[in-house]
Amino acid sequence: MARMGAVSRLDTRAARSVRCPRCGTRREWTGNPHRPFCSLACRLIDLGMWLDESYHIPGNPLPDNVDSEERVPPGSG
């Protein structure tokens, strides 16, 4: 049972701040709905970079000539 007047561990620590991976601005982690980004704008810019294929995950290139019958449906493999 909690004691009256006891301070939780979370309250005693300084607010944790992180750098936005897009622009580098420091923002508080707790209560930030856009984390790890600082804002909706940085979130959307980053998403656009992925959709434009500006970011790449290393690996072997996929063949361009795969027949539709040879493709594995998502979630089945």
**Domain regions of the chain by residue span:** 15-51
**Looking at residue 66, what is its pLDDT?**
65
* pLDDT recorded at residue 64: 79
Instruction: Specify the CATH architecture of the domain 15-51.
Output: 2-Layer Sandwich (3.30)
Predicted pLDDT of residue 62: 76
Query: Given this model, what pLDDT does residue 12 score?
Result: 42
CB 16, CB 28: distance < 8 Å: yes
- Contact (CB, 8 A) for 29 and 18: yes
Cα 77 → chain centroid: 25
- Check residue 10 and report its DSSP letter: H
Which pLDDT score is estimated for 38? 95
* 31-42 confidence digits (pLDDT tens): 999 999 999 999
Residue segments in the chain with a per-residue pLDDT below the cut of 70? 1-14, 66-77
